Chain A
Amino acid sequence: MRRLYVITRDLHLYIGLFLSPFVLLFAVSVFYLVHGLATRAAPGPFDPSRAVAGVPITPEIARLQGRVRVDALRPVLEQLDVRGEVDFVRHVANEHRLIVPVRLPDRDTVVDIDYEQRTATVTSRKHGIGDAVVYLHKMPGPHNADLRGNSRLIRLWRVGADATAYLLLFITVSGIYLWVVLKAERRVGLLFLIAGMVTFWVMVYAVAA
């Protein structure tokens, strides 16, 4: 029993310390999200842009859809030195254009490709730390499930976000065990636990019922 306590206490400590920056990231980004503070404006005409000719692309790319199209665009983007997670690609068929938004936590780039002329305009905008943490908070998220994780960054972040959730569940359960073992804190702790449970259910009932 003593051994279980010591192991649980050490795991709670070290996993909690490792997890702390991730918890801070998610917690701080909540303030931006709840109050709509991180607007993350898309790159516009006043942002730095460059024109590139001789883009290695063929009109066949317009026939592709979804993830296949994104995978086909990846080498083109690398050639243009544009890196990040490709979002929903817009095809303007009558102008032979593909508008490709590419995101990093702290940067958005829009690559406007003319696949007939084989030219591209690359426009990018740098974002602050607030936008970066909000972006990570929302990734990979429920939308565009077919496209998500087309960059190594988001594939890694998906693992990081899941690991944060699972380890946080472990931290809460191990925390309950460590509290139960502490006889002196049981009574007051139980009051806080019940108070929290009542607050939670009253809130959920008020919002959802």
Chain B
Amino acid sequence: MADMFFVWNRRIHYYLGLYLLFFTWLFVFTGLLLNHPRWEFAQFWPNRLQTTTQHEIQMPAGATDVERARDLMRQLGIVGEIQWPAQQSGPFAFQVSRPGLIVDVKADLERGRATVQRNQLSAWGVMHLLHTFTGAPAGDQRNRRDWMVTTVWALSMDAVAAGLIVMVFSSYIMWYRLKPKRFAGVVAVLLGFISCGALIVGLKWLT
């Protein structure tokens, strides 16, 4: 019984690692990009393709702002996650985003006209936004996830994180079984926890 547990623990470590390989590479690589905003090759915002167009619209249907925005997006052929501005004043305005595309919509509902500004991002921009695209900014009650695809992507981020946690614990079990490597392993784990813990607590001598 115990042997079976160890066999499956090892297999889970292999299989999960292989299954999550591309997700892990994406988040590791984009993490580096986010932490090095001065890397020239990955600049995407100055190179974005920006277009502004005017559209005739019909009064959007719906009881709430989200429903009206969704109806307007349908009329304009836009899909994505709705982001509301901090303060709504003047025209009916919102932003629709997805990795690779950011669209600003300003609609004059009384005159039946909308201005649509599209920012098409390069592959670097897509990768950059895949890392941060959650649709749920902390502390922003107005902007909650409203696009099914965002929810699926957010859940996949959860799954990758959970998978990495499982891989860490399965590696501890595999290491524990290797008696000659226990001591050196303890040293490695302790060094990791001490350095990481010191940074979390923000020891005074570090600041």
> Chain A: residues with CB nearer than 8 A to chain B?
10, 13-28, 30-41, 83-85, 104-107, 129, 132-134, 136, 140-143, 145, 151-153, 156-158, 160-162, 165-166, 168-169, 172, 175-176, 179, 182, 185, 188-190, 192-193, 195-197, 199-201, 203-204, 206-209
Q: Are B192 and A18 in contact (CB under 8 A)?
A: yes
Query: Which of A33, A106, A195 is within 8 Å of B200, CB to CB?
Result: A106
Which of B24, B35, B99, B178 is close to A168, meaning CB atoms less than 8 Å apart? B24
CB pair A21–B31 under 8 Å, yes or no, is no
With both beta carbons as reference points, the residue of chain B lying nearest to A178 in the complex is identified as: B14
B interface SS class: helix
Asked if B200 and A13 sit within 8 Å, CB to CB, the answer is no
Which residue of the partner chain A has the closest CB to B204?
Answer: A83
A195 in contact with B138 given A17-B188, A24-B165, A153-B206 (CB within 8 Å)? no
Contact between chains at A27 and B164 (CB < 8 Å): yes
Whole-angstrom CA separation of A18 from B194 in the bound complex: 10
- Which residues of chain A come closer than 8 Å to B200, judged between CB atoms? 25, 105-106, 129, 132-133, 136
Instruction: List 6 A-B pairs, minimum CB-CB distance, nearest first.
Output: A30-B161, A196-B19, A83-B207, A39-B139, A200-B22, A36-B136
Q: Is B18 an interface residue (CB 8 A)?
A: yes
- Chain B contact residues, CB within 8 Å of chain A: 11, 14-26, 28-29, 31-32, 34-35, 37-38, 98-100, 126, 128-130, 133-134, 136-140, 149-150, 152-154, 156-158, 160-162, 164-165, 168, 171-172, 175, 178, 181, 184-185, 188-189, 191-193, 195-197, 199-202, 204, 206-207
- Chain A nearest CB: distance from B132 CB in Å? 8
Mostly helix, strand, loop or mixed at chain A's interface? helix
Q: Is the Cβ of B35 less than 8 Å from the Cβ of A193? A: no
Chain A residues within 8 Å of B150, by CB: 207
